[in-house]
Amino acid sequence: MRNGENKQPKKKTETVTFRLSSSLLEELKNEADLEKINLNAFVSKVLSGHMQWGRYERKVGLLPMTKPFVKDAIDRMTEEQIVNLAQKIAKDDFTNILVFTKGDQGVEEFIEILRSWLNVAYMQHYIEKGKNSYIFTIQHDLGSKWSLYVKTMVSELAHDVLVKKIQIKTTESTISLTFPLE
């Protein structure tokens, strides 16, 4: 979101103490330095990632895979196979993930689960909230067939879960989704 727009109220925080091994603490500090954030912000980010996505991954049947594997596998498929796969996964799996992780099924929850998925998949994305819509742009380097897969899956989910039609534009390496606000 752009600076100065849609400021959210400051979240309440608490101070806690954890006992960690020296080597783990050093690794956390190094990672925080690499991300150019302080240790507190980094640990908060790690714990938030776990609470938003990590704790559900295995429960809902997700597996980590390398980018080259995913790209090669999807490039071997026809466009019809990709659309069929995306429709099946949207109906069977991602709808269950949304219900399991968020309970509610509004635009905000939909965007949050999509954002969490992209974060753990290390795909760059940008969200802009306007007066009447969210614009969600995803940058990837997996090719046009991946764009087709995500486009199909997200449009099916939006139709089935949100009962909304969303605007989607794709290129070889980007996907732009426009969600109308409720």
Highest average pLDDT, of 27-41, 72-86, 118-132, comes from 72-86
Dump pLDDT digits (tens) for 126-156: 889 888 888 989 999 899 999 999 899 888 8
Question: Can you tell me the distance from the alpha carbon of 83 to that of 87, in angstroms, rounded to the nearest whole number?
Answer: 6
The conformational region for residue 32 under phi > 0 = left, psi -120 to 50 = alpha, else beta, is alpha
Per-residue pLDDT at 4: 44
The full 3-state SS of 76-131, as one line of letters, equals CCCHHHHHHHHHHHHHHHHHHHHHHHHCCCCHHHHHHHHHHHHHHCCCEEEEEECC
Residue 26 has pLDDT above 90, yes or no: yes
- 10 vs 58, more confident: 10
Structure tokens at 67: 């980018």
Highest average pLDDT, of 23-37, 44-58, 156-170, comes from 23-37
Per-residue pLDDT at 110: 81
Per-residue pLDDT at 50: 74
16, 20, 102, 134 from 13: Cα distances, Å: 10, 21, 22, 28
Residue 105 has pLDDT above 90, yes or no: no
Domain 65-180: give its CATH code: 3.90.1520.10
Taking the alpha carbons at both ends of the chain, their separation in whole angstroms is: 18
Per-residue pLDDT at 143: 93
Cβ-proximal residues to 44 (8 Å cutoff; 6+ apart), any chain: none
Per-residue pLDDT at 182: 65
Highest average pLDDT, of 4-18, 27-41, 79-93, comes from 27-41
- Cβ-count burial of 110 within 10 angstroms (0-12 exposed, 13-18 middle, 19+ buried)? buried
Residue 54 has pLDDT above 50, yes or no: yes
Per-residue pLDDT at 3: 43
Mean of pLDDT values over 16-40: 91
Question: Mean pLDDT for the chain?
Answer: 83
Q: Which amino acid is at 72?
A: D
